[in-house]
Amino acid sequence: MAAPEARLVELLREPAERELVDDRFRIEREAGIGGMGIVYRAVDESSGAVVALKVLRKTDAASRRRFGHEVQALERLSHPAIVRYVAHGIVDDDQPYLAMEWVEGETLSGRLEGGPLSVASALSLALRVASALRAAHALGIIHRDIKPGNVLLPEGDLERAKVADFGLSRFLGAPHATTSGAAFGTPGYAAPEQVRGGDIDGRADLFSLGCLLFRCLTNTEAFAGAEVLTVIAKLVLEEPPRVKSIRNDVPDALDSLIARLLCKDAKGRPASADEVISALENLQKESPEESSPIRKKIHLKKYWVATAAAMALAAGAFLMGRRPAPVQAEKTKATLVTDLVASATCRPDAALDYREGLQALREATPERAYKAFERAMGKDPACPEVLLRVLQTGRWMRPVAEQREHLHRVLVHREALSERDRVLLDSLAATIASEPADFEAASRILNDGASRFPDDVELVHLAANAKVLLVKTVQQIQPVLASARRAVELDPAYADAWMVLGWTYERTGQVGEEANAYAHCAQTSPTSVECLASRVVLLRRRGLCQEAESLTRQWIARDPNSDRSFRELSALVAAGGAPRESIEETMHMRWSHLPDARRDVIRLHDRAKLAAWTGDFREAIALGEELERRAADDAHIEAHLRGLRIRLDALLETGKADEAGRLAEDFLRRKIAWTNSPLSGERTETGASYYEPNLLGIAVAHGRLPTAEWRTMAGTWEHQAQTTSSLMKMNPFETWTLRWGSAIGGTQDDAAKEAMKAMPAFPTDDPILPTLIAFHAGLLQAYEGRLRLAAGDASRAASLLDDAARSCQGTDQPFLNTRAHLWLGQAHEKLGHTREACEAYGVVMRRWGAATPASISAAEAAKRSRALGCVPL
């Protein structure tokens, strides 16, 4: 406690020495201590009234600013449903205080501990809170933290409820004044636009009122989760269940009103508190009065997360509104991965390292496992189990040629391995020896092994892991989910299995359950960076860039030598608008942690993407050319794509379409000579399979490929992409999106209409799941949005392009992200949303307005911005 604050507390707690505060308020007792201040019960000597005296404890600028907001708001407000302002001032050593009316009673959150409210009581309370909001909004004050804890009940009377704590309030038109972290209010009650840090108005408070009503009627939260990440994910992405599905005595009109209040798009909510009050008053007239003041016992139905996928997978969902119960290990004796032993012929010191590696696998720390197995191999190069594990953990850390060479070494010792270890070896051989890697064969081998060894936790886990990326529909993923759940039931401390369970939920769109699984992973293995990394990916995927950056910094603090974490950080700080120097500094930190063999090429690639992100297209093209020269003798197609992708996009962006078409055609003619394995060291963000239709689109659009030949080649690609046995296998909708989205421009209506006619039908009995790799890169949203825009469906286009534009890809996708903003502006323009269009065009102009050579996208954005009368940058 700071010295001035200590003196103040002493002053207030010793009335015999100093009886009055600011010569007016006599302290009676301490009422409570909060995060920002101490609240005292005091008597106002000027009136004799009892008051609540709140004294700021924190001295930082942000806390003082927040305290000042509360003072300003309460000083202007005078309403029976809002805690009454009495006075404010400064006490000793510049410590501010606020005096308010004293409310004897309880908070709404305390009241709800006894159970939900009746419908009539909930309506009375909601009317009271809505009337307070109407008064605040009339003065341009947004509360921003409506929740049960901030609603006071004088003597427990719901009809006299008062709204308190305007510390997070904001005056309309004022600049953002809160900082990240606590900036967005209370998770689970703050509106989605508030969580994202965007502009808000009174409808944000109405969303919070909807959350409050939901809690009052169901005694659980509309967006519940075990941790903040889970709550935010559900808040932003998942629709809450209807109140009527939980409690059948709720009138249909009230159920509909709450659903409107909880609309994620502010435009879909009631326009004002007046509209809400009118609806509530009508409901009060229609609802019967309670026959007794005694609270009726209300029976609520259990309810499950209401997403389309969860309905099909209800058996695997967590009960919403409660923290998932710890999974108990099955009573049957399971074989844990740490129960496995090395052969008796292995050296004892190698066997110790082997056990350490197995423990690291269980804890989801694969790099530590790889190092332990390598140490063991150094001590005993003939230990078969050690050789097998080096092969397993080195898959994503070693070049394919080295993996294949090591595979031959392991195969020599195959007969010395146990039967279950041969299952693992055969599955690895299918992915390493085949070209392309045969993940379907690997999945079949592991699935068969898990059937033969049903209590072998690792095999059950690996079977789910192998299958999760291969299944394409909701029905197909049900057994995968069951297998992933069984792995954590057999071994609740298996962090890696929790992570795979999260990936499985990701495929189904159950974001809350995905976040919960990652939370279990982190709890089980606090040292695992993989658990953190999965959570970062979840946040990036959902456009929560600030939260992802914060978590990435935790990742770096936990493992400061990881190049992956600095790669994430560079993309995230770029997405957050950091200057080029800051982005480049994070890249330097990444480069310093790379192995020598990879450092030079990755440095070039990162510098090229950064140049593109900041509009230095001349440098981006030069670096792309250097990358292509470095790849001249490389057998992997992805090595050749690194530089080509940068060059093509930069050439198109600077008006050199003919040269881009020539390069695309040349690449397509030569690509058959290279391998297309997804196992090569530094992979491109999307894989060669995902970029091929883009090359075809560039070639045909710029006269380097006849339309008939394009149709043939694109059709061949579609068939191969849908039937391959590798992880690049796509569903028909994805191949349609990438084929046609790459081949049209934003205004080619005829081509877009042809594309829409070619769109595959969506099966209703067994919905299709997205492929993770394309989904992460934002390709599907961007290209489908582009197609919808060109075909005239501006509303759907705006939704898709908003997702793509808000993604946290940053320097990972410099061209796609910036163009998505241009397309988003065009969609909003067609919808008549001038402000949103201007904002989207503004992003393009800020990023590329001074590009060298000049940017076509920035020029288009500037032209449209002028035509709309947007405020100049």
- E-assigned strands of 168-258? 170-171
Q: CB under 8 Å to 531, separation ≥6 — which residues?
A: 364, 495, 498, 499, 518, 521, 522, 525
Q: Which of 44, 145, 205, 606 is catalytic?
A: 145
Helix, coil or strand: residue 362: helix
CA 135/CA 82 separation, integer angstroms: 9
CA 479/CA 507 separation, integer angstroms: 13
Q: Which residues of 328-361 are buried (b: 16+ CB within 10 A; e: fewer)?
A: ebeeeebbbbbebebbeebbeebbebbbbbbbbb
Alpha-carbon dihedral sign for residues 116, 161, 201, 56: negative
CA 25/CA 72 separation, integer angstroms: 20
Instruction: Tell me which long-range contacts 428-432 makes (C-beta under 8 A, separation of at least 24).
Output: 428/388, 428/391, 428/392, 428/395, 431/395, 431/679, 432/391, 432/395, 432/400, 432/403, 432/404, 432/407, 432/679
Let me know if 145 is a catalytic residue. Answer: yes
CB 439 within 8 A of CB 726: yes
CA 23/CA 388 separation, integer angstroms: 80
Q: CB under 8 Å to 332, separation ≥6 — which residues?
A: 455
CB 231 within 8 A of CB 101: no
Q: Which two tokens stand for residue 33?
A: 């201590």
For 104-139, give the secondary structure using H, E and C: CEEEHHHHHCCCCCCHHHHHHHHHHHHHHHHHHHHC
**DSSP character for 871?**
P
Alpha-carbon dihedral sign for residues 396, 401, 406, 408: positive
φ and ψ of 359, to 5 deg = -65, -40
Q: CB under 8 Å to 317, separation ≥6 — which residues?
A: 304, 305, 310, 510, 513
Q: Tell me the catalytic residues.
A: 145
